Structure 1
Amino acid sequence: MPQKVFAPWEDQDEKPLIRFRDVTKRFGDFTAIDQINLDIYAKEFFALLGPSGCGKTTLMRMLAGFETPTEGVIELAGQDIAPVPPNQRAVNMMFQSYALFPHLSVWENIAFGLKREKKDKGTIETRVSEMLKLTRLEKFARRKPHQISGGQRQRVALARSLAKAPKLLLLDEPLGALDRKLREETQFELMDIQEKTGTTFVIVTHDQEEAMTVASRVAVMDEGKLMQVATPDRIYEAPSSVYVADFIGDVNIIEGKAHQTGDRLQVDWAEGQPALSAKTTDDYSLGQTCYLAIRPEKVAISAERPTGANVLQGEVLDIAYLGNISTYHVKLPTGHVIKAQQANTRRIARRPFTWEDKVWISWSETAAVVLNQ
């Protein structure tokens, strides 16, 4: 029996856990959040992604209750949360600094919130044991935060945040302090814990790889606006704008003028160069400005001229060797630089191209995404 795909946002009958309705937040003359409408569903691992200053942390702080909207309504499980103080919301927040109590043991840090709620001793013991097991910290229960590693401290902060069984856990750049390898391992641990607990996670990050790895859906933000909200594969393969295409991963953007016949688009992009062709379901008027977004891994590079659409000649300007892949920066006679990627299936000594080599680059009609903004 095929496994049911988790996609509550596609179900008309599913009610969102969190609903932002026409939410605006101003600080004096500065608009941090600009009329945002957004639904987040129960059990989602939702990522708010964008550069510094795009408004993602402000959005999270409004959910936590540290800021109130200037206009609009935020609902949690159908209730307007504006009048509910932060400590009475079914929401917990895990800070970037982890904010652990240095004088308390791991066990006491996790129990802290439960003790404040005057839970009985048996309940606290059981819940802390569950959290230690979930985050694989049983062996470290009696240690103080300074006696464990950064990755373990991160898990203590997570265990403490989940101990009170919140409906919603907010994570503010939670992996920022970890080194790359540990961060990647911890991403999968976070996903595993989120799935086991069924808690809705909302993570704020500027790290696109992190968002694409952990999230069921990603909201790409810029200057207080939502640019696109979609699953990671849709954001990558079908970006809604040049901004999103450029923000997520590596991309080649070519601007040109449209000439459309049915679903085929010819793009005039440079004097004396053949038109480029792409497929699109959108309608473009004759001469309308459009943009082709082509991911480097979809661009082939060869010494001989290939057959097919979108074949251009240039020379190798730069090579970025990343172990598993090499990215070739190919300069065209027009001055455009196109990135083409190849998997390094052979030893480095057998690299087929080097600097200043004349090469052909090509891509299929379906490889480019056509964008109008």
Structure 2
Amino acid sequence: MGADLAVPVFEPWTDPQAKPLIQFQNVTKRFGDFTAIDDLTIDIFECEFFALLGPSGCGKTTMMRMLAGFEAPTEGKIFLAGQDIAPVPPNQRAVNMMFQSYALFPHLSIWENIAFGLKREGMPRAEIAARVEEMLRLTRLEKFARRKPHQISGGQRQRVALARSLAKAPKLLLLDEPLGALDRKLREETQFELMDIQEKTGTTFVIVTHDQEEAMTVASRVAVMDNGKVIQVATPADIYEAPNSSYVADFIGDVNLIQGQATATGEDTYALHWREGAAPLTIKSPNAISDGQTAHLAIRPEKVTISADKPEGADNVVQGKVLDIAYLGNLSTYHVELPTGDVIKAQTANTRRISRRAYTWEDTVWLSWTATGGVLLAD
């Protein structure tokens, strides 16, 4: 009975029959001698909340501008709902873009801002009124309809920009750093509002951000970019737990990267010889690594256990001294220096209100983790 009531998981990218809404096929974009996008092939599906994540200059905004029609690919093709969009001018694409600045008209009321694009299209007045009221309800702005943009808060202005972008019912909404101007607390609240609105409208959202937490919170899938290339496309959980490279592991969240030479010791099991005189580390990882190949163990600080006494039966154990402590309220991160000079971070949840930390600076501690706690990466 319970199984019948289970909500189907939204994963069209795993279905070979699913047709993507957006297809980049071998797209390259050059500005003079500079290559902003380098031979990019990627599919984005209908109703996805897709995040483009990467450092400044990695090509994510160029990708978005090509979708919007502000830039044309130097090579390759971009398809929207099966149609090559290169010859379609920006104002005729079923695409809307929401900018970080929101670009609201200061002299128009909230109601008039949302109605602006619909009036330009020549929609009948009764339909405009109904659509604007629907957008105001969706974004919870009914009470503010007659106010001007300067009379409402930053978070409310962001919702007005979103309502205006969605009013024309685009197939695709592009969001360029949409929450960048908001303070942290408001940004976190607005992330959930964005997800809720995206789910209610069923519009495909593509968001550009350099904020990892934002991408991990809102997106169904994340594309991590660097130097015009997509390094990995996966769900937030897979990006975090199963990165395909040291770059992705290091870019998303906090990680310990330990370099060494890998030797196979069994099926999917490796010994990582990482420092002379140190016991090899035991790793169980599905990534195929050649014997003697240089590899990195990527292990998250929360997967590393810190203890005062040497743990019995642990797969991997190292001893060191507490070098630094970062107290973050809900978590404490311990930077532990090993005799080899390496520093490994371990994280503990502060589940109790205690007057004194269990470990302090210069304490000798043991760090341990399981063979499956990290992932072995070839680069």
Q: TM-score by structure 2 length?
A: 0.98
| Cα pair 2:198 2:205 within 8 Å, conserved | yes
Aligned to 2:308: 303
The residue identity in structure 1 corresponding to 2:177 is E
In terms of mean alpha carbon deviation, does 279-288 or 328-337 score higher?
279-288
In terms of mean alpha carbon deviation, does 338-347 or 86-95 score higher?
338-347
Aligned to 1:29: 33
3-state SS in 2 of match to 1:190: helix
Aligned to 2:137: 133
Q: Distance in 1 between matches of 2:109 and 2:333?
A: 48
Matched, 1:182 2:186: yes
Q: Distance in 1 between matches of 2:201 and 2:285?
A: 42
Q: Distance in 2 between matches of 1:176 and 1:349?
A: 37
Q: 1:332 aligns with which of 330, 338, 344?
A: 338
Q: Distance in 1 between matches of 2:180 and 2:189?
A: 13
Aligned to 2:230: 226
1:88-114 Cα distance to aligned partner (Å, 9 max, x none): 000000000000000000000000000
Q: 2:209 aligns with which of 205, 210, 229?
A: 205
The residue identity in structure 1 corresponding to 2:233 is V
Q: Distance in 1 between matches of 2:315 and 2:225?
A: 35
Q: 2:299 aligns with which of 294, 297, 307?
A: 294
Aligned to 1:368: 374
Q: Distance in 1 between matches of 2:173 and 2:370?
A: 43
Aligned to 2:276: 271
The residue identity in structure 2 corresponding to 1:4 is P
3-state SS in 2 of match to 1:350: coil
Matched, 1:350 2:356: yes
4+ residue runs over 3 A deviation = none
Matched, 1:112 2:116: yes
Q: Distance in 1 between matches of 2:218 and 2:184?
A: 15
Q: Distance in 2 between matches of 1:210 and 1:85?
A: 31
Identical counterparts, % of pairs:
76
Matched, 1:57 2:91: no
Q: 2:323 aligns with which of 317, 322, 335?
A: 317
Q: 1:43 aligns with which of 43, 47, 55?
A: 47
User: How far does residue 133 in structure 1 lie from its aligned partner after superposition?
Assistant: 0.2
| Cα pair 2:315 2:371 within 8 Å, conserved | yes
3-state SS in 2 of match to 1:14: coil
Matched, 1:75 2:79: yes
User: How far does residue 348 in structure 1 lie from its aligned partner after superposition?
Assistant: 4.3
Q: TM-score by structure 1 length?
A: 0.99
Give unpaired runs (5+ residues) of structure 2: none
Q: Distance in 2 between matches of 1:286 and 1:240?
A: 19
Q: Distance in 2 between matches of 1:44 and 1:118?
A: 30
Q: Distance in 1 between matches of 2:198 and 2:273?
A: 48
| Cα pair 2:257 2:297 within 8 Å, conserved | yes
| Cα pair 2:287 2:377 within 8 Å, conserved | no
User: How far does residue 350 in structure 1 lie from its aligned partner after superposition?
Assistant: 3.0
The residue identity in structure 2 corresponding to 1:219 is A
Q: CA RMSD in A?
A: 0.6
Q: 1:284 aligns with which of 285, 289, 302?
A: 289
The residue identity in structure 2 corresponding to 1:135 is T
| Cα pair 2:321 2:363 within 8 Å, conserved | yes
Aligned to 1:122: 126
Q: Distance in 2 between matches of 1:334 and 1:211?
A: 36
3-state SS in 2 of match to 1:204: strand
Matched, 1:172 2:176: yes
Number of paired residues? 373
Q: Distance in 1 between matches of 2:218 and 2:278?
A: 42
The residue identity in structure 1 corresponding to 2:333 is T
User: How far does residue 264 in structure 1 lie from its aligned partner after superposition?
Assistant: 1.3
3-state SS in 1 of match to 2:336: strand
3-state SS in 1 of match to 2:355: helix
User: How far does residue 2 in structure 1 lie from its aligned partner after superposition?
Assistant: 1.2
